Structures are given as C-alpha cells and as structure tokens.
C-alpha cells in the first residue's frame, strides 16, 4: 500500500501531520513515538516577536469538541528558528511553519525570517488572525485582504505557501479563489469556528478571551463541506483538517478532496493518535477498495 | 510519561460526591512517582469528551501495584468517571507534571495545607515526608462536615487540623484561620487548593518558604498546547502548569 | 419559580418551544405529552405551494449532531392553515409560523396568507433558504437582501415577525442589525451550519442533496457566541436555539441573551425532551441562584 | 407509541456480526404489536449519537414478556449496541410504524421473501400467519454461509429456501433465482430487504399482490421530521416510512 503524496515543497511518506498549535514544536510528543513516522509536522504559529497570548482559562470542553483561545503564544520567529527547528530536524519528516501576524508587515517579516533556515519545507499562512490596522477584521474573511497578504507573503518566501482558511465566512470558495489567484501553492483548511461557552457558576463567558475557536469532531461536517466545495473551484492542493479522530475520517477528507490530513484536537485525547492512524491507514484504505492514498484524493467527486 | 490502561480495583464514596479509586497498575511506573504529580484521565472512548481530566495522585503502593485517586464529582466528566465500576479499564497519561521536590530539601517540620480537592496529593506527600523523618502537620479545609475525608489518615502521620467553611466540623473558617489560631511552628509549607486559598496562604506566610500546587484548565496535559499557563513572578512570561508544575515554589509564579 | 416571559405577540408561560422542522405540526409529539405544557410551538416551514422536498437520504448522523436536507417539504400554506392549525389550537400554547420562500414575492404571499387565521401568534421568517432568483445566494447571508425581505414581510403581517438568522456568515451582527432596522420584532437564531458527510462505501456525499444543515450539541458553541454578540448590538429579543439537550443548556442560552429557547434535534433522541426540560427548569434555575427566567436573560453580560 | 426502558435479558451472536437481543419488556405493550413494526433504539445517553436506530421486531413472546431483535453490526451505533451486556437497560420507542395487515387479509398460502437484515421481521410474521392457519413458504437470502440465521426456525413453520450470493450455502444467487427455480405457488407475498432486492421481487412477481417493508434513514422515527420519505406510486407526494410504513402495499409506493 503506498501512502506517499507529493505536494509543493512536501514529499510526504504518508498524508498525516499534526495540526498547528496542537503539537507545539514536537518535543512533548516525541516521548510517545518517533516523529519520523509522521508525514510532516505543522509547528505552532510564529509571530515577529514573542507573544504571551491570552489570560486563562484558555480552553473549554464542548460536546465532541473544544474551544481554545491561546492567543498565539509563541517565543517569536527567531527563537523558533534557533531553538526549536534544530530539534525537529533530527527526524525524517517535513516541517511546515505556521506564520501569523497582526499586520501585513508582520506576516512579511515572519515569512522573510524563515528564509534564513533550510529546516522548513513549506509555510502555512494563518490568515485567521485579526487585522489590527483594519480594525479587527480577520484577513481570512475579506477576499481582498486575503489576496493581498498572500501575494506579499509569497514574495517574501522561498518555500511553497499553503494558505490556511477560516471557516467563519459566508463564501469559502470566494476566499479560496482569491488566495489561489494571489499565488498560493496550496490551501490548508479549516481553522476553527468561532464559538463561546458560558460559565454557569460565574455567569460570564468561560474563556478569559470570551470567544474561542471550536475544533474537534463537532466541526468535521463543516470542514468536509468546505473542502468539497473548494476542491471543485481551485487547482491547488488542499491540506484538510477539522475533527479527525479515526482512519475512516482521514479517508473521508481524502475523498472530499484533501491531499493530506492534519490532526489537531484528537492529539489531546490520545497523544498516540497520529502514529496509530498512520499504522491503520493501509488496512482502512484497502477495506474500501483503494490501493494508495493518491487514488482516494477527490474520490467523492466522480459520481 | 506513558499512556497506559489501569484497572479499577476498588471504587468507594468517601465523602459527599467524593470518590476514591484504587487502580491496579504496572508497579515499575509507580516507583518513579513524586508526590504532587498527577494523571491525565480519559473519560471514555466516545468523542463526546475530547479533553482528559487532570487528577492528582493521592497515594501510591508499589508493593500492591496500586495507585489511589480521589476526586470530586463536579461536572459531566467526573460524574461519568464516578459511575465506573471495579474491573473497568481506565486510560491514563502517567506520571504528569512535576511534584514537590522533597528529595532536595533539608527540612525538619513541614506544614501541609490543603483545601477541598487540593487535599488528596498532600496525603502521598505526607507519607513520603514521614518516611524521610520530617515532622508533618496538616491543616485541611472543606466546605462542610459532609465533605471531610482523610482526617484519620493524616492523623496517623502527625497533627491534623480540620476546618469547615460553615463550622459544621472542626474549626469554623478557612485554613488560614486555623493557622492563625494554632501558631504552628514549621520550616516550610506545601499547599494545594483553590487559587484564593493559595493567595491567602502565600500572603499569611509571606515570611516562610513554600511550594504550592496550581490548578488550571488543561488541553494536552503534556506541555504542547499552552492552555494551562500561569504568569511567572514578574509576569514577563508564562509557565505551564502541566509541564513546569503543577507544583511551583511560591517565588516562581504570580497567582 | 416564575418561568413566564413576555415577548412581542407571545405570552409564554415558559421559555421552551420545539424548533421549526423538528416537530412538524405537533400531532406526533402529542402522543407523548400534552402540548399545552409548551411555551410555544414553532411549526414546520410553510411555502406558497406544496413542496416535495429533496430526494433521500435526507439525514445523516454526525458526532454530537446531525445533518438534514429535508428541502422544505410541506403541504403549502393554505393546507397548513386549513388542516394543521386547528389541531394545534386545542392546546394552550402559542403558535409561531415559520415562513419560507424562494423569492421575496413568495415570502410576502405566505405572510399575507397567515393574516386569514387567528391561530398563529407570531411569524418566524426563515431567511436561510437559498434564493433562487438571485442565483442561489441565501437571503440570510446578504444584509441588503435580509433587510428587504424583512421589510416587505413586515408590511404583509399582522403579527410580530421574528427573523431567523443563518450562522453561515462572516458577520452575524451586521445581518442582525439590518433586519432590526427593517422592523423585525425579534430574532431567532441560529439555523443550521452548512455541512457534508461522505459515504465511504459509495464514495459520494451521503445526502442526496450533497450538503445539509448541521444541528445538535456540536453547534451550541457557535449559537452561544452569535447570540452573545448580537444581544449586545440590537434591542429586540432573541429566541435562541442550537444544540439544547439539558436544562443547563437552556440557562446557558438565557445567560448569553436569549429570551426564549427552542429545541430541535434533541426531540429525535428523546421525544419527551421539551416537557422534561420544562419540568426540570425551576430546580436548575434556583440551583444557580435565579428566582425567575426573566432574571437570567442576558445575565452573562453583567461582568 | 411509548418511550420506555427495556432490559437486555440475553444477548447472543447468531451469525457473522449478527446479534440477537432478547429484551424484557412490559407485556401489555407486546400484545399490541403487529408483525413488521419496529423499535427506535437510543444508542446511549451520551450526546455522541443524536439519532436513534430503527430495528425490526423479530419476535414477541408476551407470556415471557420478551421481545426479540436481530441486528447486524454495521456502523458505529450498532457496534456499540452489540457490546451491551445482559441486564443493561435500553431505551426504545415502541411500537413504531405499521406492520403487515394480516388480520385483514384472506389468504391461504403466503410467500415470505427476505434478504439479510430484512429477514428478522419475517419470523414474527411467519409465526402469526401460521397461527391463522396460513401456509408459509420462506425464501431468504444472505451474502455468504457465515451470515445465515434462522433457517431452522423458519423450517418449523413451513418450507424454507436459503440462497447465498456466493453459493457457499443453499442456492447460489439471489432470492429471485430461488423463486424462479422452485415455482412456488402462493396467494400473496411479503418481502423485506434492501431496495434492489425489493425492486427485483416486485418486477418478477408483478402478477401477484404483495407487501414490502422499506428501509430509509430516519430522524425522529415518529413522522415529524420528513426524513424517511418514499414517493407514492405516481411520484406526486411522499409517504413516511416511519409512520405510513415501513410496510407498504406494492401499489402504494414507487421504489
Ligand atoms: C493538576 C491538577 C490536579 C487536580 N487534582 C484533582 C484531584 O485530585 N481531585 C479532584 O477532585 N480534582 C482535581 N483537579 C480538578 C479536576 O481536574 C476538575 O475538577 C475536573 O477536571 C472537572 O472535570 P468535570 O468533567 O467534572 O467538569 P467539567 O466542567 O465538565 O469539565 C470541563 C473541562 O473543564 C476542565 N475543568 C473544570 N474544572 C477544572 C478545574 N478545577 N481544574 C482544572 N480543569 C478543570 C476539565 O478538565 C474539562 O476539560 C485537579 C486539577 C488540576 C489542574
Ligand atoms: C424500518 C427499519 C427496520 C430495520 N430493521 C433492521 C433489523 O431488524 N436488523 C438490522 O440489522 N437492521 C435493521 N435496519 C437497518 C438499521 O437501522 C441500520 O443498519 C442501522 O441504523 C445502522 O446503524 P449504525 O449505527 O450501525 O450505522 P451508522 O452508519 O453509524 O448510522 C448512521 C446513521 O445512518 C442510519 N442508517 C445507516 N444505515 C441505515 C439503513 N440501512 N437503514 C436505515 N438507517 C440507516 C442510522 O440509523 C444512523 O442514523 C432497519 C432499518 C429500518 C429503516
Ligand atoms: C489548542 C489549539 C491551538 C491552535 N493553534 C493554532 C495556531 O497557532 N495556528 C493555526 O493556524 N491553527 C491553530 N489551531 C487550529 C488547528 O490547527 C486546526 O486547524 C483546528 O483545531 C481544526 O482541527 P482539529 O479539529 O483536528 O483540532 C489550534 C487549535 C487548537 C485546538
Ligand atoms: C430535520 C430538521 C428540519 C428542520 N427544518 C427547518 C425548517 O423547516 N425551518 C427552519 O427555520 N429551520 C429548520 N430546522 C432548523 C431548526 O429549527 C434549528 O434552527 C436547528 O436545528 C438548530 O437547533 P437544534 O440544534 O436544537 O436542532 C430544521 C432542523 C432539522 C434538524
Ligand atoms: S495543558 Fe497543554 S500545555 Fe498544559
Ligand atoms: S423519521 Fe422523521 S418522519 Fe420518518
């Protein structure tokens, strides 16, 4: 059974990778299994300077999901390059750097900084952060802003750029097409849905940040729908994510149109999940009649 | 840290809504456990609960391959756990976090201060201190008489003072009130409980050195998601409760 | 414990009502309990003519939720008035008519038709249906279309109009403010999120309609977030819904800003759910320190 | 229809992935059950599964307060059900739908045709027909030898022909092949199975009157959500499988 997939910048031995923000820079999970097993690792968001993130509580459980409002806590791009990437480079796996910022300039700076290292293979451009200059609109909800930030980050990058789309939009296809036109090499979808939980005891939003991002199996149907729709409208590959828990879920993402699949929240329930899914994938694929991962990609569009 | 399945050997309600689990577990891992460490418990295999629950290790008996947890039924997850019967397997990450660094401390008399569900880890700590010939005095606080547990257990290891918020058992008031009234002499304190209690203890005992164990909502429980942070002393960076804690020297963190 | 709530057109003895489309016109559930127990009943969508709806499969289960693509099957507004409302009128409960259509003219027609009966107390204007004339955009995702359809339905109605908002939008507040400006008496939120499930055996979307509406506990965090945000931005009351399963969920909606709460998907798991929640509500409210429903409304905004 | 809790008295695997539950249940409701009706089963109390599962009633023994269900482990829900042990309570809507209207029919020889998980309801139907002195012949089809169940049970009530798709047991081929080869004489047929089988049966037996039981994905299971519809004969309106069916006269629906 061949699990390999070739994508811009990424020669993946299998389509499975931990999702950004759920795996830090890999150290913690490396006590559970050899990270060389992974197709790739998407590291925690990098910003220009260190960020402390939001006040706690930062997470809350919801039915078949969770909310998080970490607030992009990270040590800053230079420290990531100096202290974290060398650790990851000991494993035989691709590294995707998640790039975040509050302004186009910050995005450009972070992308440019990653030029100094050969230890990343692609950029995941996280356009779900609020754009401070434009008054808190998310780059990811306005096609023109999305186009602009993609175009400018592409100019600063020497590796392929996958743009990570926000699902909190009326028309995901419009955004996907805008970033494709701006030169994106691929898409990564979906980021979290914006949600809230109220603390009944305290009678106020449970998260200190009030709202948080909803992830986990609860959002899988939204992810599948968006990937299915976008697959039909663009020609660049999609890294799919949102609620993956089982090898069957991975197959569902592939059929919908994803070329690779990232796993976020499920790592918290089961730190072995990525490895267990990689091990189980050949049997799952063959039980549904596939002899390779490539064969399954987009398979639900043939009907 | 490992992910493993333990088996519930015995489950018992020891106080109002408070359950004790004795878990059968591989003894090699039990020998490595430090007092103050916790386990990160998976509620069940369904997708309904995507987050594990952190529960302190209350006691360890390597000879019997037993690990004791004591937890209060609070929300949905702990209510589901409470219903599990003997012989049920239970999926843990163990051991999690850093405990009280008692091997590195030269002390003679330790004061242990616990509030509510902060009491359980102090029991294993008291046992371990006693083994090292440290004198142990315990002050534990609960809401009400029905919530009190482990007083006798602590009394076998040293003095133990109990306070209840409503005065229905032991002293009326908070653990700090007991401390005020009993002028306990000690070298170092070890506290675990809700943040307001820890703040009061730190303030009241500002002339003493102490270690506190913190609670924070967790995602991964292993240091990878940045959910469970607490500001360092000068609030310039965060520490992770699950990974750098849950036990901190009072000077390390700002609570 | 006083559970009553007064809203435009609705004198509710308690805040609980079944959600549109999950309760038909009440007949089936009346074998399980006396519908007079309910605060109100929101009936299945009415269109101008009978509609047959979509092909099957029309529903699929998802984690803590479900997808539906019923497609507005209903006998048409005149038949609803003649055959269904008289049945409901034997119960001591308010009736809210859910009005749907593919064009503004159809919405107007349905609203006007309900003028002929005294058996409904309010209209729930469902602007989440695809607008056929405008090329499939939902009225609910464009603030101008939402304004226009609300204004024109208001003109045709002799009962208060609650506009039911779609959550599939980048900015829910903008839509809510548009319909408030158009004269809406209240809001009803949220309708379903658009989702998809792939049938792994057939390798195609499971629902005949491909996409469907995601409902159930999975979407509750999105509903709570949207209600919380809209409550701060408008002055009209909100009927909240999306994933309610327990009396604690009802309290969470009230605290977020809902004045009444509708229950949809949970009726399928437990046909007694509305009655059981009504019975349990006084104890739940008092255990969190409330002595009435009214006291809890918007309670999470005082912090 | 009622919502009630039954208790699993006995659970047994009777063929590959095929489980039989004998449920202890209030006998007054059992007396009202018509063959062909179903129960709508709640998987568990968690929110993970928001939809119930429709399962046909395979047998009823009012004297012993027993109801029999036979189901195949197909997806997650039926797999979870299969793991339930004796004494577990199980939440049902019962009885659901309309069964075969055998009390209103004057027939002498009935042909029962079942495929896979369409076989179970035919057993109670056969028993009831036999009680009314109707001669019963059964033709049942399965994928393979390992899937076959209830052949002996049907043989106690009349002739029974078994077919398997791969020929590993009984006749090779589909139930329609068995019918072709055996020129069975009968007044009326009663069929239950997957839609392709029902279509083939209806076509092959177009000169005969018959009742068929349909499967469709369900939401409410009580007629309120319009999930489970099937077009009427001339496709001008829909019928609800859960409420108007699952049993229909072949002339009522277009399949
Ligand atoms: C290091 C540590 C050790 C702990 N040790 C114990 C112990 O020995 N005995 C005991 O009874 N309790 C202990 N707790 C608290 C315990 O984790 C919570 O009571 C429990 O997680 C609540 O889960 P629930 O399902 O009942 O509540 P829910 O409200 O349903 O939980 C929802 C989510 O919130 C989190 N959460 C809710 N309350 C808390 C809390 N107080 N602290 C952390 N997370 C919370 C849960 O983990 C879960 O992710 C400890 C907490 C920490 C951080
Ligand atoms: C009236 C009726 C009677 C039935 N009687 C029996 C029986 O006696 N024995 C038996 O083994 N099976 C029977 N079935 C089929 C049975 O309902 C499905 O196999 C079962 O619902 C699958 O659930 P799952 O959790 O295993 O599958 P999943 O795929 O996890 O189920 C997901 C959803 O799809 C629905 N679904 C999946 N397959 C079917 C199907 N074939 N028909 C209807 N809904 C489906 C489920 O109800 C659920 O809502 C009957 C179906 C109907 C409509
Ligand atoms: C705790 C947490 C932190 C996250 N941090 C980031 C991040 O820094 N950058 C990013 O692009 N996405 C981040 N995400 C989103 C995930 O990468 C992923 O898109 C989302 O969680 C959906 O996948 P899942 O359902 O498998 O978790 C985070 C998610 C979680 C749960
Ligand atoms: C089967 C089904 C049919 C529905 N039909 C309608 C409808 O006709 N009109 C409407 O406004 N909403 C309809 N809805 C949406 C619900 O009224 C409700 O807004 C949504 O399901 C969220 O609530 P819940 O999570 O409690 O189900 C339907 C939902 C379901 C599940
Ligand atoms: S819980 Fe994830 S870092 Fe502590
Ligand atoms: S399942 Fe709801 S109408 Fe049949």
- CATH code where residue D87 lies: 2.40.30.10
Alpha helices in chain A (DSSP H): 77-79, 85-89, 104-113, 143-156, 172-181, 220-231, 247-256, 266-269, 273-287, 293-296
Mention every residue, 6+ apart, whose C-beta is less than 8 A from residue C140. C127, C128, C146, C164, C165, C166, C168, C169, C175, C191
- A157-203 pLDDT, tens digit per residue, is 999 999 999 999 999 999 999 999 999 999 999 999 999 999 999 99
CB pairs under 8 A between B and D: 6
Q: Do A252 and C300 touch (CB under 8 A)?
A: no
Q: Are residues B55 and B13 in the same domain?
A: yes
A267 lines ligand 3 (CB under 6 A): no
- D155-190 pLDDT, tens digit per residue, is 999 999 999 999 999 888 888 888 878 888 899 999
Q: Which residue of chain B has the CA closest to D50?
A: B48
D194 lines ligand 6 (CB under 6 A): no
pLDDT score recorded for residue C136: 60
- Is C219 within any annotated ligand binding site? no
Q: Does residue A71 surpass a pLDDT of 80?
A: yes
Q: Is the dihedral of CA A240, A246, A249, A255 positive or negative?
A: positive
Structure-token pair, residue D225: 């959500």
Whether C19 contacts C64, CB under 8 Å: no
Pick the atom of ligand 2 nearest to D51's CA. 49
- Chosen from D48, D76, D83, D88 to mutate, greatest number of chain B CBs within 10 A: D48
- A245-264 pLDDT, tens digit per residue, is 999 999 999 999 999 999 99
pLDDT score recorded for residue B177: 82
Domain boundaries, chain C: 5-53+71-192+215-296
- C74-105 pLDDT, tens digit per residue, is 999 999 999 999 999 999 999 999 999 989 99
Q: Are residues B83 and B107 in the same domain?
A: no
**What values do phi and psi take at C296, rounded to 5?**
-85, -20
State the smallest CA–CA distance between residue B96 and chain D in angstroms: 28
Q: Are residues D59 and D118 in the same domain?
A: no
pLDDT score recorded for residue C137: 66
pLDDT score recorded for residue C1: 87
D155 lines ligand 6 (CB under 6 A): no
The count of other CB atoms within 10 Å of the CB of residue B45 is 12
Give the Å distance between the CA of D235 and the centre of ligand 6. 18
Catalytic residue among C129, C182, C224, C255: C129
> Whose CA is closest to atom 4 on ligand 3?
A21
Sort out which chain C residues have CB atoms less than 8 A from A255's CB and list them.
Answer: 198, 200, 203
Q: Which residue of chain B has the CA closest to D80?
A: B46
Q: Are residues B109 and B186 in the same domain?
A: yes
Answer whether A267 touches B (CB < 8 Å). yes
Q: Does residue A134 surpass a pLDDT of 90?
A: no
Sort out which chain D residues have CB atoms less than 8 A from C22's CB and list them.
Answer: 219-220, 224-225
Using CB distances shorter than 6 Å, the residues near ligand 5 are B 218-221, 223-228, 240, 242-243
How far apart (Å, rounded) are the C-alpha atoms in residues C17 and C20?
9
The number of folded domains in chain B is 2
Instruction: For chain A, give the mean pLDDT.
Output: 95
> Whose CA is closest to atom 9 on ligand 2?
D71
| CATH domain A5-53+71-192+215-296 topology | TIM Barrel (3.20.20)
Distance of CA D193 to the CA centre of its chain: 8
Calculate the CA dihedral of residues C260, C265, C267, C269 and round it to 10 degrees: -140
How far apart (Å, rounded) are the C-alpha atoms in residues B36 and B213?
7
- B122-135 pLDDT, tens digit per residue, is 999 999 999 999 99
Q: Do A21 and B225 touch (CB under 8 A)?
A: yes
SS3 of residue D63 by DSSP: helix
The residue that leads in pLDDT, A116 or C133, is A116
Beta bridge partners of A95: A41
Asked whether residue D114 is assigned to any structural domain, the reply reads yes
Chain B: residues touching A (Cβ < 8 Å) = 1, 3, 42, 47-52, 77, 93, 216-230, 237-238, 243
- Is A242 within any annotated ligand binding site? yes
Asked whether residue D232 is assigned to any structural domain, the reply reads no
| Complex ipTM | 0.96
Q: Are residues B153 and B65 in the same domain?
A: no
Q: Which residue of chain D has the CA closest to B46?
A: D48
Q: Does residue A128 surpass a pLDDT of 90?
A: no
How far apart (Å, rounded) are the C-alpha atoms in residues D169 and D141?
10
C18 lines ligand 4 (CB under 6 A): no
Q: Are residues D124 and D209 in the same domain?
A: yes
Q: Does residue D114 surpass a pLDDT of 90?
A: yes
pLDDT band at A302 (very low <50, low <70, confident <90, very high): confident
Give the Å distance between the CA of C191 and the centre of ligand 4. 6
Least confident window among B104-113, C215-224, C250-259: B104-113
Asked whether residue B229 is assigned to any structural domain, the reply reads no
Q: Which residue of chain B has the CA closest to D48?
A: B48
Mean pLDDT for the stretch of residues B75-89: 95
Q: Does residue A135 surpass a pLDDT of 90?
A: no
pLDDT score recorded for residue D182: 80
Instruction: For chain D, give the mean pLDDT.
Output: 94
Answer whether C65 touches D (CB < 8 Å). yes
pLDDT score recorded for residue A195: 97
Q: Are residues B111 and B201 in the same domain?
A: yes
Q: Does residue D213 surpass a pLDDT of 70?
A: yes
Neighbour subunits, C (≥3 Cβ pairs < 8 A): A, B, D
Ligand nearest to the CA of B74: 1
The secondary element (H helix, E strand) that includes residue C88 is helix C85-88
B67 lines ligand 1 (CB under 6 A): no
Q: Are residues D111 and D208 in the same domain?
A: yes
Least confident window among B35-44, C239-248, C257-266, D158-167: D158-167
Distance of CA C263 to the CA centre of its chain: 8
For residue B114, the domain's CATH number is: 3.40.50.80
pLDDT score recorded for residue B206: 87
Mean pLDDT for the stretch of residues D210-239: 94
pLDDT band at C129 (very low <50, low <70, confident <90, very high): confident
- Is C128 within any annotated ligand binding site? no
Q: Does residue A130 surpass a pLDDT of 80?
A: no
pLDDT score recorded for residue B182: 81
- Is D217 within any annotated ligand binding site? no
pLDDT score recorded for residue B148: 96
- Is C20 within any annotated ligand binding site? yes
pLDDT score recorded for residue A131: 66
Residue C154 DSSP class: H
Q: Are residues B109 and B193 in the same domain?
A: yes
Sort out which chain A residues have CB atoms less than 8 A from D48's CB and list them.
Answer: 64
- Is C98 within any annotated ligand binding site? yes
- B17-63 pLDDT, tens digit per residue, is 999 999 999 999 999 999 999 999 999 999 999 999 999 999 999 99
pLDDT band at A137 (very low <50, low <70, confident <90, very high): low
Concerning whether A129 is annotated as a catalytic residue, the answer is yes
Question: Domain range spanning residue D128?
Answer: 102-215
Whether D9 contacts D23, CB under 8 Å: yes
How far apart (Å, rounded) are the C-alpha atoms in residues B190 and B34?
14
Q: Are residues B180 and B108 in the same domain?
A: yes
The residue that leads in pLDDT, A247 or B176, is A247
Mean pLDDT for the stretch of residues D214-236: 95
Q: Please name the member of C193, C225, C300 whose beta carbon is closest to the beta carbon of A222.
A: C193
Q: Are residues B134 and B195 in the same domain?
A: yes
Q: Are residues D50 and D119 in the same domain?
A: no
- Chosen from A27, A61, A67 to mutate, greatest number of chain B CBs within 10 A: A61
Pick the atom of ligand 1 nearest to B120's CA. 8
């Amino acid at each position: 059974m061949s699990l390999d997939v070739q994508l811009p910048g990424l020669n993946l031995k299998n389509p499975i990778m931990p999702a950004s923000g759920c795996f830090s820079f890999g150290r913690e999970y490396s006590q559970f299994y050899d990270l060389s097993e992974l197709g790739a690792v998407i590291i925690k968001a990098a910003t220009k300077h260190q960020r402390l993130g939001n006040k706690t509580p930062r997470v809350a459980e919801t039915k078949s999901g969770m909310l998080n409002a970490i607030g992009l806590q990270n040590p800053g791009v230079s420290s990531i390059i100096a202290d974290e990437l060398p650790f990851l480079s000991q494993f035989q796996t691709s590294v995707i750097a998640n790039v975040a910022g509050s302004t186009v300039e910050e995005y450009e700076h972070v992308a440019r900084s990653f030029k100094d290292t050969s230890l990343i293979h692609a950029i995941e451009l996280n356009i779900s952060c609020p754009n401070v200059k434009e008054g808190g609109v998310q780059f990811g909800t306005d096609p023109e802003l999305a186009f602009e930030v993609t175009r400018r980050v592409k100019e600063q990058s020497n590796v392929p750029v996958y743009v990570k789309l926000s699902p909190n939009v009326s028309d995901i296809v419009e955004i996907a097409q805008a970033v494709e036109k701006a030169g994106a090499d691929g898409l990564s979808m979906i980021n979290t849905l914006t949600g809230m939980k109220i603390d009944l005891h305290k009678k106020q939003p449970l998260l200190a940040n009030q709202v948080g991002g909803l992830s986990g199996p609860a959002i899988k149907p939204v992810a599948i729908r968006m990937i299915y729709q976008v697959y039909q409208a663009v020609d660049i590959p999609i890294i799919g994510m949102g609620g993956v828990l089982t090898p069957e879920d991975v197959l569902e993402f592939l059929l919908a149109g994803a070329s690779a699949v990232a796993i976020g929240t499920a790592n918290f329930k089961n730190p072995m999940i990525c490895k267990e899914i990689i091990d189980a994938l050949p049997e799952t694929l063959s039980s549904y009649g596939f002899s390779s991962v490539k064969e399954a990609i987009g398979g639900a569009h043939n009907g | 840290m490992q992910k493993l399945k333990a088996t519930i050997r015995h489950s018992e309600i020891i106080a109002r809504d408070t359950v004790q689990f004795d878990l059968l577990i591989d003894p090699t891992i039990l020998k490595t456990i430090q007092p103050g460490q916790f386990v990160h418990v998976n509620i069940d295999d369904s997708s309904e609960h995507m987050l594990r629950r952190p529960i302190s290790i209350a006691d360890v008996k390597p000879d019997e391959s037993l690990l004791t947890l004591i937890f209060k039924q609070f929300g949905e997850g702990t209510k589901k756990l409470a219903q599990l019967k003997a012989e049920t397997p239970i999926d843990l990450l163990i051991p999690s976090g850093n405990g009280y660094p008692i091997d590195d401390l030269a002390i003679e008399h330790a004061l242990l201060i616990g509030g509510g569900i902060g009491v359980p880890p102090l029991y294993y700590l008291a046992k371990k201190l006693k083994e090292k010939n440290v004198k142990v005095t315990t002050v534990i606080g609960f809401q009400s008489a029905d919530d009190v547990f482990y007083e006798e257990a602590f009394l076998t290891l040293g003095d133990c003072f109990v306070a209840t918020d409503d005065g229905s058992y032991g002293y009326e008031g908070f653990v700090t009130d007991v401390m005020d009234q009993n002028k306990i002499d000690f070298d170092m304190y070890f506290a675990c409980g809700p943040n307001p209690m820890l703040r009061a203890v730190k303030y009241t005992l500002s002339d003493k050195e102490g270690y506190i164990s913190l609670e924070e909502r967790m995602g991964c429980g292993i240091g990878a998601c940045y959910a469970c942070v607490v500001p360092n002393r000068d609030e310039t960076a965060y520490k992770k409760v699950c990974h750098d804690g849950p036990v901190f020297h009072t000077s390390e963190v700002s609570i």
